[in-house]
Chain A
Amino acid sequence: MVGIVSYGTYIPRYRIVVDEIARIWGEDAEVVKRGLGVEQKSVPGLDEDTATIAVECAREALRRAKIDPKKIGAVFVGSESHPYVVKPTGTVVAEALGVGNEYFCADLEFACKAGTAGIQICYAMVKAGMIDYGVAIGADTSQSRPGDALEFTASAGGACFIIGRNCIAEIEGTFSFTSDTPDFWRREGQPYPSHGGRFTGQPAYFRHIFMATKGLLEKLGLKPSDFNYVVFHQPNAKFPMRVAKMLGFGKEQVRTGLVVPYIGNTYSGSSLIGLASVLDVAKPGERILVTSYGSGAGSDSFSFVVTDKIEEFERNPTVLDKIRECEFIDYGTYVKFMRKIRR
């Protein structure tokens, strides 16, 4: 039985509300909030980046796992905001965890689905007997051009999953759907990503999530009603609700894992923090479906079955605790924290 042995999350404590961003750019805040279903987003502090977020969520996962860090055989960090273009974030994380030097490592990049790609790699490596435990992290401090629609949601956060045997949630199966679809990209040396506007919806987000999820359900011979919870990548609150409906899932199945209204789109952390918030309350025997989405484009779909082990597993502080513990900042402070102004 291979699956999630432990998990941890990190959400920076600063928040900016949609109203504040809308005020600066002359947008109607109510229209924006209704359109996106997002109230506020998380903002990293001046001394936080993808590496610090990755380390914090990984340390929480390791503490909860109660395993010797030397037993970790692989570290994969998925992000679209790795601090270095050349030099892996994974090495910083492994050093901070005390993994030693004998481990497999690579940074992954696939827009918002790089973290779930890491889970698939760890899952395969554990199954193949190459490693006992693998660490898969999705973390980002996403950037957005001032005044761009992305600025209302592009936020920061991360989640870490330790994959191995003796798990709290078994991976029942995984399925991916990938294509060359240029809906969102960032070229080398460019500070902000570009996107295809409305093009990001139908041929990109909806098609990939729909096909990956459908593929997984067919492969496992399951139907939407077999799942207690479903988590989709959440660039806003509307997209996951709509794709859930397209696939035949109900709103109640989506709600527990929907964190985007309170922290925004944490990119590589998005579906994974959603999964963590579901695991925070899940009971043995419950089934969870997760489908990530990464622009460019692809989706990874997973079915997890929660085991008895979750009952003695330490789940505090929960994702909800971290959502609540926050400090609001104004747009000026936000611009300074994101280093959008220079002296």
Chain B
Amino acid sequence: MLPKFWRKIRFRYGLIGSYCENCGNYYYPPRNLCPRCRRKGKVKEVQFSGYGRVLSWSVVHDAVENFWISKPYVVALIELDEGARIIAPLDCNPREIEEGMRVRAVFRKFGEDGEEGIIHYGTKFVPIG
């Protein structure tokens, strides 16, 4: 678990994804190969602005042990302004969510490996305004 988490720290903290110069599509998480262009693709690393809108969401009422204290919580499908889509926790009252709602990325705790383990940080979203 530790090496897997460590390798992805950059992409979790900073919302870093990929951009294909051939077709103009953005991807998150980052990809080495453009699924549309395959070998013709020219993939570059890109830093997303962190702004986007909610396409769809789920309210989780029955959470696993680590997330039990946060229930009910929201996991949303968000379209970033650049075009990439990302599934991420959305910190807001489930009753206040609307389709198309504007959101922005924030840096939050995801969880921890028990009281003695490491703390996992990453990107969540909050409504704007």
Residues in chain A within 8 A of chain B (CB atoms): 45-49, 51-52, 55-56, 59, 83-84, 92, 95-96, 98, 336, 343
Does the CB pair B108–A52 fall under 8 Å?
A: yes
Does the CB pair B124–A95 fall under 8 Å?
A: no
For the complex, give the distance between the alpha carbons of A98 and B108 in Å: 16
Which residues of A are found within 8 Å of B10, using beta-carbon distances?
95
Which residues of B are found within 8 Å of A47, using beta-carbon distances?
70, 91, 108-110, 124
Does the CB pair B109–A49 fall under 8 Å?
A: yes
What are 28 A-B contacts defined by CB distance under 8 Å? A45-B108, A46-B69, A46-B70, A47-B70, A47-B109, A47-B110, A47-B124, A48-B108, A48-B109, A51-B109, A51-B119, A51-B121, A52-B106, A52-B108, A52-B109, A55-B13, A56-B106, A56-B107, A59-B107, A84-B119, A92-B13, A92-B121, A95-B9, A95-B10, A95-B13, A95-B14, A98-B14, A98-B47
Given A52-B106, A55-B13: 20 more A-B contacts, CB < 8 Å = A46-B70, A46-B109, A47-B70, A47-B91, A47-B124, A49-B119, A51-B119, A51-B121, A52-B121, A55-B107, A55-B121, A56-B107, A59-B107, A83-B119, A92-B121, A95-B9, A95-B13, A96-B107, A98-B47, A336-B69
Which residues of B are found within 8 Å of A51, using beta-carbon distances?
109, 119, 121
For the complex, give the distance between the alpha carbons of A45 and B108 in Å: 10
Does the CB pair B107–A52 fall under 8 Å?
A: yes
Residues in chain B within 8 A of chain A (CB atoms): 9-10, 13-14, 47, 68-70, 91, 106-110, 119, 121, 124
Nearest CB on A from B101, distance (A): 17
For the complex, give the distance between the alpha carbons of A83 and B112 in Å: 11
Nearest CB on B from A60, distance (A): 11
Which of B47, B70, B119 has most A Cβ within 10 Å?
A: B119
Which residues of B are found within 8 Å of A52, using beta-carbon distances?
106-109, 121
For the complex, give the distance between the alpha carbons of A59 and B119 in Å: 20
Which residues of B are found within 8 Å of A55, using beta-carbon distances?
13, 107, 121
Which residues of A are found within 8 Å of B119, using beta-carbon distances?
49, 51, 83-84
